[in-house]
Structure formats: structure tokens, C-alpha cells
Structure 1
């Protein structure tokens, strides 16, 4: 069995590299050299190589043997495909739950944090608040496969969303969150699913001016 210490280092390398790709610190097309990354992260090369392999499987890194390993470009079709899958998983969660008052309050709190972050230009806080808001029905539904699928594909979408939430279209996302919470509060599952499809549908259709 693998030693815990090594597993934790591997996870740390993966999480830090994925975060750097999503927030743009490692921009699309940037070459990834395990030696350099290991030095900058203060880790050995083994966990960094493992992290790169995981990120390649997730579509955030691309590699050609004996040629390059680099951050993937932001490809519209890849973002749209990921959004379609993630949106479907959120649909599934919304159809399977009736949220408690406490869970709805958590969504409202996250929605308020999202709105403040968008208006204040704090994209990291906006991402965190958006994750928290949408996670409430997913966690309430208890479908582990749906949750894992969302976690797997969301980073592909987040790179595009960072560009949008600095624009006036962030206000549309604020309104859509309010509409989603209102529908869930009234127990209108059909309306909640319809709003959710609008939220994710803009990306699915390749309209990068209207993502959540």
C-alpha cells in the first residue's frame, strides 16, 4: 500500500497546478517542465509528473512525446462539451432533491457573496461562491457519480468563466442565481431545471458571452 506522505504530496502538486491553470497563472500554451515546476512548488519531480498525467487526462494539459507538454488552449468546443455534461449533472441533482430551509439559506448566502465578488472584481471569490451555491443541491442529492463528474469537468469551464465575470455579463449570472433559488424555494422543480439549463446552456451553445 502506498505511503500516506507520498499520496499527500501528489495531491498537493495536482491541486496547485490545476489552480494555476484555472486562474491563468499558467496560461494556455505555456510549456510545463517537471524540473522547473518541482523547484517552484518545492516538491520532488515524481508528484509533479503524476499531477501532469492527471491534468492531461482531464484535458487541462496536452502532451506530444518527445515534443512538448503544455497547458491546453481554451478551445470553445471543449468548454461547450464540458458545460453540457456539468449542466446535465446539475439537472439530475435538482430533479432529485427538495431542499431544506437551511440549505436554501446557504444558497442565498453564497449568491450574495457571488454578487459582491462580481461587482468588486474579485474573480477568485466569485468562483468559490459559485461553487458553493451550486454544490448545495448536488450534495443534498447524494449522487457521488454526479458529484465526481462535476468535479472532473468544471475546471475546463472555469477558465472561460474568469473572462466573463469581469464583464457586465456577470450581472446576468447574479440574476440567474436569484431565479434558481426562487424556483427551489417555491418547490418548482421544473422552473429550477429550466433556469439551470439557461445558466449552463450559453456555454453549451458556444456563447461565451453568457456563461454562469
Structure 2
């Protein structure tokens, strides 16, 4: 069986949650949103607001508000990029390096959906979630290098047509932006908790 045929072959609840989260669109992040992330958080169609004034500008939302947002936003971002990875050329999906990336994303998705019904009023849940996303941050620290290695493997073995090159560049742009956004959100949550 090839790597690609195993990809996203979740079972039971995980398969159901993957289908649901991949149908959501991640929130668009802009500089204003990132600055205000700690002051108010858009939670899908609900706004959890804190008044913006000079006293609280730059302060972070309570960890529970961040948790309520991230427990849905992070799996949504992972599921969306995993769906895009599935559309890459089969020869690229079969490389060892890309398989490593896919495995990391699958494991992280499974880790995150454990918190979908997590109670934000329990400090132990928020603490556990924070530790989980810190682990994910470290787990994904080399995915850019691994993806690049997979593309180099593909180029050296099969070569790449100009059309495939454009498709790969489009994917890589989205992959990097998704990764940057996820890492910023995770760091934004961990920073006030002083979790390196």
C-alpha cells in the first residue's frame, strides 16, 4: 500500500471529525486581528468582546477564551491543509519526507480533537491543552525542511514540468501561510502562560 493511500485514513470519530473540520474555513488573520487577538476573539459567529482601551491594549485574553477559539481553529487549519496535501502529485506523496510531514499532521489533528468538548472552566483542561499545542509546535518545527526535501526528491527522480512547478508553488505558498498562522496563534496562546 502506498503512503498516499494511507493518508487521512482515519477511523470512527476521528474520520467524522476530520470531515467536519475540513469543511470549515479557517479565520483569515490580519495584523489588526493578531494585535487584538488577546483583547477579543472571534469564535465563529460569536464575538467574545473585551472593551479596547489604553489600560488593556496589549493584554491577552484569559487562557480560557483563547482555548475556546483554538480548540476549533487549529483542527480546522490542520484539516484544510491536509486536504490540500492530498491533491499533490502521487509521486510527491510517496516520498519518505512528505510521508513524515503527513504523519505529523495526522497525529496533531488527533491530539487536538481530544479537546473539542473540553471544559474551558477547568484549569487542568487548559493546562493540558497548552502542553499539547506546545508539543505540536515542536513536532512541526521541521516540516518546512521535510516538505522541501520531498520536493527535491521528486525533482531528482521524476523531474517537474512547468505546470507541476506552478501547482507546487501555489501549494507551498498556502502551506507556509497556514503554518505561519497556526504557529502565531499557538505562540499567542502560550506567551502569557510563559510556556516555552
* TM-score above 0.5: no
What's the TM-score bracket when you normalise by the shorter of the two chains?
Answer: 0.3 to 0.5
TM-score by length of structure 1 reads 0.32
Structure number with the higher helix fraction is 1
